[in-house]
Structure 1
Amino acid sequence: MIGSRTAGALAVVTMAAALVGCAPDSSLTAEPAPAAITVGAGQAPDLAVLAEIYAGVLRGTGSPVDTAPGLAQGQDFAALDDGTVTLVPGYTGPLLQRLQPGATVVDPDDVFEELNRSLPQGLSVSDYGMAEQPGAGESDEATEPAANVVPLMRSGVLTTAQVKALNVVAGELTSAELAEMSEAVRRGGLSPGQAAGEWLAQR
């Protein structure tokens, strides 16, 4: 009788040990969910299209992404500062002129370098694109600074993979494509999301 009880107890202990071995290791924490991102944009059609393109490529990195179009002029910096938006599309020359009125640099690399130096703490930009602001460069003024597409963002929020995704846009979007999409949106033929979706589908 005693032997039977002992054997039964051993069986229970063995089963418990097996169950413990199968249980998930509580010391291993799950991967954190991707942080939500909000892409803001000014009211111009080109900025709305760029915001939708950025949102599309960032969704491809696994993060939930919303857009906040229609920011009033000058509201972008405040929205970035208070965290309402994560990033906004802009143009190197106009951004530099806002931060450093009277800046005289005009070459794309010089404008980008000076813009980086002028950014307030907490804001940063990734690579500027080959696409330029629609209408930029049409003036005969040789002193007009380069106006290349660039994402302005809150520092340290996006992952390396997300910044690389934005840089892909910088290397592929052309001035002609941006101007064509912006004009289609302005005329009401496409929404910003439709224009961006068609462009992304061709990548």
Structure 2
Amino acid sequence: MNSRLWAGAVAVVAVLLSGCSSGDSGLDGPPPLPSITVGSGQAAESRVLAEIYAGVLRGTGSPVDTRLGLAAGEDLTALDSGAVTLVPEYTGRLLERLHPGATATESDAVFEELNRSLPAGLSVSDYGMAQEPGSGEAGEAGSAEPAQNVVPLMRSGVLTAAQVKALNVVAGELTSAELAQMGDAVRSGERTADQAAADWLGAR
């Protein structure tokens, strides 16, 4: 992984930790970073996204596990119970689940409406430019279908500011074409989800 991704995902951590360091050699020091569990749905793209998030978050110094293949609708239950810390979602589909009948379709409007519809204790970071493969022209002018941008749905207050920044770096880097290509590779058996994620991260 080259300096472009690390600059956004890791350098902030070093700055924050250096500001927290103690001048003595006793027990004082920065608190340990939280343990994180990244969940996913059953779709190949969801599993790849979870592995990408896990890889980036490991780069911030936290221990990270994955819990892949959650059943439909199980993501909110797992988040509520604390079984997972975050899961990849698509903005439009999540909005439709949380606010049936919402009329927002354009990416920014869907994201704003989604933020207003989230249950207490849950939050999202920046949505990505990557959209759900097969969503076509959803979200474009004249479309009745909401935009389906990738977004991490997470438990509020668990991730550090640097870790949220790391997720935002992914949002700005991953494209729809890359996500579709990785999903196809996993479905065909050419790559596993963690291999596809490692390929993507290693190319940054």
- Give the TM-score, by structure 2 length: 0.85
Decide whether aligned partners of structure 1 residues 62 and 97 sit closer, same or farther in structure 2, where only a CA change above 3 A counts.
Answer: same
- Match of residue 18 from structure 2: none
Kindly provide the amino acid, as one letter, of the partner of residue 160 in structure 1: A
> What are the superposed Cα offsets for residues 1-40 of structure 1, whole Å, 9 maximum, x if unpaired?
xxxxxxxxxxxxxxxxxxxxxxx765x5232221110000
Map of 1:45 onto structure 2: 44
Contact 1:137/1:144, CA 8 A, preserved across alignment = no
Partner in structure 1 of residue 135 of structure 2: 136
Amino acid at match of 1:157: V
Gaps of 5+ in 2: 1-23
What is aligned with 1:159? Answer: 160
Tell me, what secondary structure is at the counterpart of 1:50? helix
5 Å matches for 1:76-155? Answer: 76-137=75-136, 142-155=143-156
Measured after TM superposition, the shift of residue 102 of structure 1 is 1.3
How far residue 138 of structure 1 moved from its aligned partner, in angstroms, is: 5.3
Q: For each residue in 1:23-60, what CA deviation from the matched residue of structure 2 results, as whole angstroms up to 9, or x when unmatched? A: x765x523222111000000000000000000000000
Q: Alignment partner of 2:31: what SS?
A: coil
CA contact (8 A) 1:106 1:145 kept: yes
1:60-93 alpha-carbon deviations (Å, 9 max, x no partner): 0000000000100000000000000000000000
Q: State the identity as a percent.
A: 69
Where does residue 13 of structure 2 map in the other structure? none
Report the equivalent of 2:16: none
Q: Which has the higher contact order (CA 8 A, sep 6+)?
A: 2
Distance in 2 of aligned mates of 1:69 and 1:190? 16
* C-alpha RMSD over aligned residues: 1.5
- The residue number in structure 1 matching 2:17 is none
2:32 corresponds in structure 1 to 33
Aligned twin of 1:187: 188
- Gap runs ≥5 in structure 1: 1-23
Match of 1:169 in 2: 170
- Partner Cα separation in structure 2 for residue 170 and residue 42 of structure 1: 18
Does the CA-based 8 Å contact 1:92-1:146 persist in structure 2?
A: yes
The code of the aligned residue for 1:53 comes to I
Matching residue's letter, 2:125:
S
Give the 5 Å matches for 1:43-82. 43-82=42-81
Residue pair 2:137, 2:143 contacting (<8 A) in 1 also: no
C-alpha deviation, 1:153, in angstroms = 0.1
Residue 196 of structure 1 corresponds to 197
**Structure 1 moving runs of 4+ over 4 Å:** 138-141
Mapped to 1, the partners of 2:161 and 2:29 lie a distance apart of: 20
What is the aligned residue count? 179
Secondary structure at 1:70's aligned position in 2? coil
Over alpha carbons, which structure has the higher Rg? 1
Which secondary structure state, in structure 1, belongs to the residue aligned with residue 135 of structure 2?
coil
